[in-house]
A and B are shown apart, each in its own frame.
Chain A
């Protein structure tokens, strides 16, 4: 059974720092991996989706990497800003059917001005 883990559960860094969020998964036979952002009391916003054939995906100050063999992904945020404060979740397919995904419990990120 696929399990997704995100450590740490919470992270606080000063503004301007580069930072890395971690995601690990137990079954490496995944089609892709998706990173989401969730602001308090809101739904999830898709940030990046990496296909299994890719090693990384970039969007602005965000860069996500994928290492299937080790069951790990990282989300790199460059030059962090207070507006980056949110919970970040990763998710991978958990079943053989095409559409259902398993979420990690998230990392709550706080950027101090």
Chain B
């Protein structure tokens, strides 16, 4: 069965800390995505990657970076966490294709920045 695993369900960090959110998929998918979800704003794409070491900015990349050293793992990095980055973070993956393939999501990480 399809599985996208996010390393933490809940995380509490302090302002200014460097924060790593990890995501692993076991489906050999080429594409991986990071979203954040906020009440009233819906899901917004932060970054995505369509291959190892490749990345593209989404709609709200400011304050974030990503790393994709292995196909199965996609990391989201908050370089210097701020309170406005308190949110639910969702990772997803999909197989490569000229047209969209179904995206499969992890259970999310609820991140609080104090």
Contacts and interface: CB of A to CB of B under 8 A. Distances in A.
A99 B90 CA distance: 16
A41 B101 CA distance: 24
Given A98-B97, A100-B48, A103-B42, A42 B102 contact: no
Interface string A18-49: 00000000000001101010000111111001
Given A98-B97, A100-B48, A105-B42, A46 B102 contact: yes
B107 A99 contact: no
A97 B94 CA distance: 14
B61 interface: no
Interface in A44-64: 44-46, 49, 51
Interface residues of B, number: 29
Interface residues of A, number: 24
Contacts of A43: 4, 6, 90, 105-108
Contacts of B43: 89, 103
Contact of A99 (B6, B31, B40): B31
Nearest to B110: A41
A66 B45 CA distance: 24
21 contacts: A32-B100, A41-B108, A42-B107, A42-B108, A43-B90, A43-B106, A43-B108, A49-B100, A49-B102, A51-B99, A89-B43, A93-B99, A98-B99, A99-B48, A99-B96, A99-B97, A99-B100, A99-B101, A100-B33, A100-B58, A104-B42
Given A41-B108, A42-B107, A93-B100, 15 more contacts: A32-B99, A34-B100, A43-B106, A43-B108, A44-B92, A46-B102, A49-B100, A89-B42, A98-B96, A98-B97, A99-B94, A99-B97, A99-B100, A100-B58, A103-B42
